[in-house]
Every structure is written in C-alpha cells, then in structure tokens.
Chains A and B, each alone.
Chain A
Amino acid sequence: MTVPSALTKQNPVLDIRKLSVRLGDNDILKSINVQIQPGEFIGLIGANGAGKSTLLKVILGLVPVTGGSVAVLGKPARRGNRLIGYVPQKIHLDRDIPLRGRDLAALGFDGHRFGIPLPSREKRRRVDEMLVAVDAAGYADAPVGKLSGGEQQRLLIAQALLTVPRLLLLDEPLSNLDIGSAYEVVGLVSRLARDRGMTVILVAHDMNPLLPVVDRVLYLADGNAAIGQVDDIFRNDVLSGLYGYAVEVLRVNGRILVVGGRDSGDCGHLLSAETHCCGGIA
C-alpha cells in the first residue's frame, strides 16, 4: 500500500504550531513547533517528565491545549480519531484472566463498538493475518496473562494495526525489553510501517535502538522541543539550549550518550538510559 503522491510535503500528518500545555502549575510544553510528513519514522526522545506522554495525549485529543494548535491529518486533534493507532506501554492483567492472545489483538478490530463480538470469517482472517505479520501466531491461543511483556507488546501492536491507522503512536515500547528484543521490535515496527505507508512516532528515552530506522528525532527537554536529523539534534549546543544547562553528547562505539549536570562540579543526573554520573562514563 503506497501513499498517494498528492499527500506529500503540502499535507503534513502532524502539524503542531506554538503548542503550549499547562497542567496545574506546570508548563509541560512550551510553545513547540513540529511538522511531520507522511511515512516518516520519528523517534520522540527525552528524559522522564519531559512531556513525551503529554504530547502523545495531546495528539490523541485527550489533554486540552492551553495555547497554539495541533492538526492531525489536516483536522484539529480530537478524541477517538480512528486514523491514529496507539500502543500503550504496558497492560496489567492477572495471570488467569480468560483471554487469549488473539482476543487481545481482536480488540483492535471491533473493541470500540457496542454489543457482543460475533464471530465472522472476515474478522478471523484479518486477525490471523496480523498475528502472522507481528510474529505472534505462536501464542495466539495462549492466555494473555501468562505471556511475557514482549509477547504482550506484539499483541498490542497487532491490536493497534488492526484499526488501520495512518499514524501509529507507541508509548515507550522498549523500556522493559532487553537490548536484543528492543532492536527486534524497532525493526518489526519499521517494516510494518513501510509496508502500510504509516507514519510512526515511537517514544523512548534511549535513542540507540532507533538509530538504524529513524528518519528524524523529536527531542523534548523541559517542555522545549527540537526536531531534525539525528546528527543535527544530538549536538552539545542544541541539547544544552533545550535543557537550559550544559549538556554533552558523546559518541562511544557508534552509540550516543547524553551527559549533563545542573551545577558545574555536581554529579550529572540521568538524562537518557545510557547516561551516567559525570565522574564516570561506561
């Protein structure tokens, strides 16, 4: 499925202008500007509390905007936009809940409609297809509660893809995975997105597993944002500007490390999953 050529530079999938979001007494997002084109794979990076989840919720229409505008596929952000697929970080289900892998995935097909799920050949076919595509066919009939975090995540991805979205949002899918699985999931999502012409925003706090597939990076720090190519964003001056204090970007063996500290001489705090105290760098 290829994207029609009319939908290129003129119609961004996501058009955010001067977006500000204030929750309570905190300015979570401060006047950010972002345009994302169809088919792009965007890594949304930032430390905890930087505003990544809030930005996702704004795109989903779940959090009110204090200032500026957010347009998704040409229309203002609203709740229940069927063209956006969402993969949450985790689900919490008891071990013995009577729900199989395929039932979890099937929720993507018709979970939002009222009434009882009636079995249909079309639904079964689509779900089976999707389970094969995400490599989850092996545990389709196993109880969801007994699956590992990674396995549940594949089902959640299948669930999101069954809604046939144009924009796919993944909220920190890599946080609980080991490095090997993280690269696998990223590769899978990238492949699926390319096959379907989807735009992807994947939230993470470590950039490294995304380096092979990402088109641009959207870096959030302290409510400020910068978007661009990896090499244009991961620079001392750019990140220091975002954070508001001195930050250093180091490249070690092809991996990126971001290190920083609030006061000179103070031990740096964790800025991304790969950071360490400024005194010692792994």
Chain B
Amino acid sequence: MLNSGLFTAPFMIHAWISASLVAVLCAFTGFFVVLRGSAFAAHALPKAGFAGAAGAVFLAINPLYGLVAFAVGGALSIGVLGKSERHDVATALILVAALGTGNLFLSLTNKYATGAYAMLFGQIVGVSAQQVWDTVVLGFVCLLAIALLYRPLLLASVSQEVAESRGIPVRSLEMGFMVVVGLVAAVTVPVVGALLCFSLLIGPTAASSYLTCHPSKAIALALLFSLITVWASLILAFFSGWPIGFFVAIIAGLFYACSRAVGFRHSGANRLVKR
C-alpha cells in the first residue's frame, strides 16, 4: 500500500494537506453552524460557490476567485435579504440565483463538464500546488477569525438580547460569521465537492453533540471525527477511483448515526448528572 503513491504522489501530498486543513476548519466552524441552526445556509453557500467557480472558468480566471466571490457574496446577500424576509426563504432565493447563473456558465463552456463534476462531487486529482497554498492561507485567516469571534458569537447565539445589552454589535457579528462560513465553503469545495461540503461542516459536530455537553470536548471530538472522515475518504477514493464526496458523506453519516444511537442509550445517565 505504501508503494502505491498514496503518500508520495505529488497530487496526493496536496490532497492530504488540503483535506486535513479543511477538516480542521470545518470542525471549528461547524460548532457554530450547528449552534445557530444554520443548516440550510451551510448547504446553500457551497453550492453558490460552485456557481461562482463555473463563472470563473468561463471567464478563464482562477476558479477559487469565483468560489470565494459567490460564496461570500451569497452569505452577505442572505444577511441583507434576511432582514425583512424569512431566513429560509432568503437562503433558498440566493441559492437559486447562484445556481441559475451557474447553470448558464456551465452550459456556455463545453470544456467544463468534467471539471464541473469534480467541483460538485470532489475529485482528489483536482488539487494543484497553488490551490494548496491558497487553501492554507485562507484557512488560517478563517481559523483566526473564528478564534477572535468565539466568545461574542457564543453569547449572541445563546441570547441575542443579552448580547445586545452588553453592547455586542449582533447584526455585524452575524454577517461576519456568515462571511467566514462562505470562505470556509469556498476552501472546502475543491476538496470535498460543493454538494458534500455540508457533510463535513455539520456531521462531525452534530455527532459529537450527542456524546458530550462540554463545549471543548465537543469541538475536540468533532475534530477527531472530521479528520478520520477525511483521511479515510482520501484513502478509499485513491484506491477505488470513486468520487471522494461519496465517502465523506457516507462516513460522516455513519458517525452521526452511531453517535445519535449511543447518545440515545445514555440519555438516562445525563439526567443523573443534574441532581
């Protein structure tokens, strides 16, 4: 197995680095996405990013620019629309707007068929050295942002009113967080695929929340699940040639289902902690 290039082929080294960083990023961001219940947005932003990537290819520029533009733009638009519209409707409309234009771009560039497929479902061969560098830089920016916003965002997510009373600019904070989610989506899409970025964002945290109520332990567990998911998917995708997104979705789903089952059995024990 070690001779097959799993760890030595250049594209695999790129894949290992990007995938690991993405797993870490999604675990930390996912904590807040789950806390705030932004499941739909977490699903919509990667897809919007994908549309941007298609546009970038059409304009013959780096797809990452398109990814970031549409994912972050989408996040901001949801925030703006969401001020006077139901949140889920706003998300749906932005998603549809992005995908509609993505459809246009895709149909106008015949050469993008396989590239589009890779962006949607994840292909490990798609990651170049430049992309790894971009991923690392953007990834660190996002991690820094999450670390910085951790406390006020936690307070605002628990009670918007208390946060406002303490002088926290809740609206701006929420927009800022959405932008970070957009950036994380943009970074994750080339690795895992637009349709399955969501699995990595939500799955590990949702799974860990059934196993512990201690926030630091939950994040640590989510990190563990996330990394295992990504690494196992890489190995399986390498040997089978199947899309990496398939494995990520299935493994993340398994972690979630098992954790939920285990958590259910132990919910009696939690009651005992109280008294």
A and B touch in the complex (CB under 8 A): yes
User: CB within 8 Å of B: which residues of A?
Assistant: 60, 62, 79-82, 84, 86, 88, 91, 93-94, 96-100, 103-104, 107, 110-117, 138-139, 141-144, 146-147, 156, 159-160, 163, 169, 171
- Selected A-B contacts with CB under 8 Å, 15 pairs: A60-B164, A80-B166, A84-B165, A98-B208, A98-B215, A100-B213, A112-B152, A113-B152, A114-B151, A142-B213, A142-B270, A156-B162, A160-B162, A163-B166, A171-B161
Does A143 contact B213, Cβ atoms closer than 8 Å? yes
Does A111 contact B147, Cβ atoms closer than 8 Å? no
| CB of B210 closer than 8 Å to a CB of A | yes
7 closest residue pairs by CB, A with B: A80-B167, A98-B218, A143-B213, A111-B155, A86-B165, A112-B166, A88-B161
Does B214 contact A98, Cβ atoms closer than 8 Å? yes
Residues of the B chain whose Cβ atoms lie less than 8 Å from the Cβ of A115 = 147-148, 150-151
Does B274 contact A142, Cβ atoms closer than 8 Å? yes
**A75 nearest CB across to chain B (Å):** 14
Does A116 contact B150, Cβ atoms closer than 8 Å? yes
Beyond A80-B166, A142-B270, 10 additional contacts (C-beta under 8 Å) are: A60-B165, A84-B165, A96-B209, A96-B263, A98-B209, A107-B162, A113-B152, A114-B152, A115-B148, A156-B162
8 Å CB interface, B194-253 against A: 208-210, 212-215, 217-218
**B90 nearest CB across to chain A (Å):** 20
Known: A60-B164, A60-B165, A142-B274. A116 touches B147 (CB 8 A): yes
A223→B27 CA distance, assembly (Å):
49
A107→B165 CA distance, assembly (Å):
13
**B28 nearest CB across to chain A (Å):** 10
A111→B161 CA distance, assembly (Å):
13
Residues of the B chain whose Cβ atoms lie less than 8 Å from the Cβ of A147 = 274
| Selected contact of B168 from candidates A112, A138, A141, CB within 8 Å | A112
Residues of the A chain whose Cβ atoms lie less than 8 Å from the Cβ of B215 = 98-100, 103
| CB of B126 closer than 8 Å to a CB of A | no
A141→B150 CA distance, assembly (Å):
21
Known: A98-B214, A99-B215, A143-B213. A88 touches B162 (CB 8 A): yes
Residues of the B chain whose Cβ atoms lie less than 8 Å from the Cβ of A96 = 209-210, 263
Residues of the A chain whose Cβ atoms lie less than 8 Å from the Cβ of B265 = none
| CB of B92 closer than 8 Å to a CB of A | no
Residues of the B chain whose Cβ atoms lie less than 8 Å from the Cβ of A86 = 161-162, 165-166
A146→B213 CA distance, assembly (Å):
10
The chain B residue sitting closest to A93, CB to CB, is: B158
8 Å CB interface, B135-162 against A: 147-152, 154-155, 158-159, 161-162
Chain B, 112-149, contact with A by CB distance < 8 Å: what is the 0/1 string? 00000000000000000000000000000000000111
8 Å CB interface, B8-64 against A: 31, 34-35, 37
Residues of the A chain whose Cβ atoms lie less than 8 Å from the Cβ of B263 = 96
The chain A residue sitting closest to B259, CB to CB, is: A96
**A164 nearest CB across to chain B (Å):** 13
Known: A112-B151, A115-B150, A115-B151. A94 touches B164 (CB 8 A): no
A141→B162 CA distance, assembly (Å):
22
Known: A107-B154, A113-B151, A113-B152. A99 touches B213 (CB 8 A): yes
Residues of the B chain whose Cβ atoms lie less than 8 Å from the Cβ of A116 = 147, 150-151
Does B274 contact A117, Cβ atoms closer than 8 Å? no
A146→B273 CA distance, assembly (Å):
11
The chain B residue sitting closest to A96, CB to CB, is: B209
| CB of B275 closer than 8 Å to a CB of A | yes
| Selected contact of A107 from candidates B35, B158, B274, CB within 8 Å | B158
A171→B213 CA distance, assembly (Å):
28
Does B162 contact A159, Cβ atoms closer than 8 Å? yes
Does A146 contact B151, Cβ atoms closer than 8 Å? no
Residues of the A chain whose Cβ atoms lie less than 8 Å from the Cβ of B166 = 80, 82, 86, 111-112, 163
**B168 nearest CB across to chain A (Å):** 6
A112→B152 CA distance, assembly (Å):
5
Known: A97-B35, A100-B214, A159-B162. A107 touches B209 (CB 8 A): no
| Selected contact of A99 from candidates B158, B163, B164, B270, CB within 8 Å | B158
Does B148 contact A114, Cβ atoms closer than 8 Å? yes
The chain A residue sitting closest to B272, CB to CB, is: A142
